[in-house]
Structure 1
């Protein structure tokens, strides 16, 4: 066994899946209190002790620490407490009063009590500017406890097919005598992964803002440093409408290095199911080019009932409404609901397997055939390619 790890607020296991891929870290304990996500974790990491515990309660925290100590302790603590109190998607609610914010401090307290060799913490970038962050870092550093470094990383810089900016905090125990170094991948500025809207001769189109040589890298199917949507999901079975849950054989051979890696020698995939799509939604999607959204709709389709002005305007008027993926670019940040983006070729929502591919999960990570709960778990996960890269860098520093 390599380094023994504790994964706090583990969700479906994105951090743990990346740690395990290093071959030198074994997720020994995993803690969360969201049962649907834990069910996915247990299915895919059966050798880990998985506990459903609410860490906001001090008695539960003390019991957990005692149990881990009695079983030999851990070498590494990882995790990312709930981000809802820090994220920008709050609909005007007060972020500072959210009780979930205190869970970041709970993470720091567990690290202090267990005294592992190192820790890795992740959350949304907005945490860095919150009132909690200074207290959080202070608890971790203490008086000669941990040397701590933090940085905002973009998952797309590590070969992930979707964008996902995360605040990463890494600490190494003070007695090792070194400040952690956080890897940056190919280190492309986050804004270059966004899309550019182009209008020419009355036609609307979208393209990546990436500049050379990275644009050519993104379009090369054999270069896994940058991976686009089409390279990530184009080999999955063709689905155009609502489907029932079942395992499905791949439609075509792998068409990219990423697809060959993602299949992991599996012969078929689960989690490739589509929910019902409303006829009016399908009609609107047909009028939107890949990369576009509701702003590209012709006027008759902007009414709640298409072609009926008396029905009023669409209520969905945010940027992601009716957004379609652009195949030759990165996916926007995957969220925990089915309509954050639609397929670039078919007028439908994305399947859990497509979302998992966009988040860097390999096909041997079993999803089952549920839809909503699995989509939510994927949207809350850490991309395994990102967690693996951070863990490998940390292993080198720990020697």
Structure 2
């Protein structure tokens, strides 16, 4: 028994001490609260890193079902966070100490705030960010992790970031780390740039560093190449591995686009004359995927004439195959596209856990 316990301690980076010299104490699992949890990309990573979930919050019932089915033991509140009073948060957590609050609050007021002179915090569309700060202030975690769009860091020539840092300072937190990370550098076969902000309570001394970058980038073919091939509209026995049913016209257009090609491969008489230039392209099998969003219907498999299935998109996001998504086809794509890649979340969680060791 002692041998297995020592192995466990060694894996956690703890110097094991024999029971003859020191009374053994159970290793405390760090705790977290996941706000705006969506399908659960962040939770997936933090659970894998050994954290214990105390509470998750998601306002969309369809997304919440996916979360509940995959994390049945996590306490989940399905409601707009602004409708959840502090007292209810405390009641669910049951006076447990929260080590870290995580989440990616949707912040939509970038252009408006810049155009009419409002600060980021004055734009009513950013109330969800303020709710994130409100929960952090109330729960007083040792640390927090906030994920958001890369544009946040440079918006209004840095003034928006100043507003955000001021809000956290007023809540009692120091935020020395905010950096745009590309998921492709952290084991995710996808170019996805997001700002990851990490802060800690001002009465503590915390040493945190972002995870190290990989020396090698994973390709989309490595991620999805072993899944069964499908034709347009075809289904498989693998959960969420179902191809959408394309029109004859769409199938003809995509048939001209080569591996890694774009709409210019389509004959001019058939080629779309307008629309997003990021559509009507084919994934490059030798590169990581383009950023997965909530609508990938006009980006084609690198060697099959169809869009990617939800399972393939989930693989690109690094969700495990036993993670099942629920809802309509577009709802599932939105859940996958909005998620933080679990592998990136895991690597961040490992660094957070290390930072919490001596706090």
Would the TM-score normalized by the shorter structure come out above 0.5?
yes
Match of 2:149 among 117, 120, 124: 124
Are residues 366 and 87 of structure 1, via their aligned partners in 2, closer, same or farther at CA, if it must alter by over 3 Å? farther
Instruction: Tell me how far apart the structure 1 counterparts of residues 287 and 37 of structure 2 sit (CA, whole Å).
Output: 29
Match of 1:111 in 2: 136
Which position in structure 2 is the counterpart of 1:266?
A: none
Which of 225, 228, 247 is the aligned partner of 1:234?
225
**Cα displacement (A) at 1:299:** 1.2
Partner of 1:283: 252
The 1:111/1:119 distance shift into structure 2, 3 A limit, reads same
Moved over 6 A (4+): 94-98
- Match of 1:319, SS? coil
Distance 1:143 1:285, change over 3 A: closer
Task: Give the superposition deviation at 1:153.
Answer: 0.3
Q: 1:354 is matched with which residue?
A: 312
Which structure 2 residues correspond to residues 140-179 of structure 1 after superposition, within 5 A? 140-142=168-170, 145-179=173-207
Could you tell me how far 1:172 is from its partner in structure 2?
2.2
Following superposition, the deviation at residue 368 of structure 1 comes to 4.9
**Mapped pair 1:38 → 2:64:** yes
Report the TM-score when normalising by structure 1. 0.74
User: Structure 1 residues 81, 230: closer, same or farther in 2, change over 3 A?
Assistant: same
Report if the CA contact (8 A) 2:165-2:175 is conserved.
Answer: no
Alpha-carbon separation, structure 2, partners of 1:380 and 1:275:
20
Question: 2:119 & 2:276 partners in 1: Cα distance?
Answer: 21
Contact 1:3 1:25 in 2 (8 A): yes
CA 1:43–1:95 in structure 2 vs 1: closer, same or farther (change >3 Å)? Answer: farther
User: 1:76 maps to which residue?
Assistant: 100
Aligned CA distance change for structure 1 residues 87 and 170 (closer, same or farther; 3 Å): farther
* Whole-angstrom distance in 2 between the partners of 1:147 and 1:292: 42
Corresponding position of 1:6 = 33
CA RMSD of aligned residues (A): 2.5
Aligned 8 A contact 2:136 2:171 in 1: no
Q: Which residue of 1 aligns with 2:334?
A: 376
Output the CA distance in 1 between the equivalents of 2:234 and 2:63: 23
Note closer, same or farther for the CA distance 1:160–1:87 as it changes in structure 2 (3 Å cut). Answer: farther
Which moves more between the two structures, 69-78 or 280-289?
69-78
Secondary structure of 2:67's counterpart equals helix
* Structure 2 residues not aligned, in runs of 5+: 1-27, 113-117
User: CA separation in 1, counterparts of 2:109 and 2:300?
Assistant: 27
Once the two structures are TM-superposed, the CA of residue 49 in structure 1 deviates from its matched residue by: 0.7
CA contact (8 A) 2:208 2:351 kept: no
Compute the displacement of 1:95 (Å): 11
Equivalent residue in structure 1 for 2:86, among 57, 62, 77? 62
Structure 2: how far apart are the matches of 1:275 and 1:48? 32
Change (3 A) 1:294 1:147: closer
Displacement after TM superposition at 1:113 (Å) = 1.3
Partner of 1:333: 291
Runs of 5+ consecutive residues of structure 1 not aligned to the other structure: 89-93, 187-213, 218-225, 249-268, 303-313
Deviation at 1:62, TM superposition (A): 2.9
Instruction: Give the count of matched residue pairs.
Output: 321
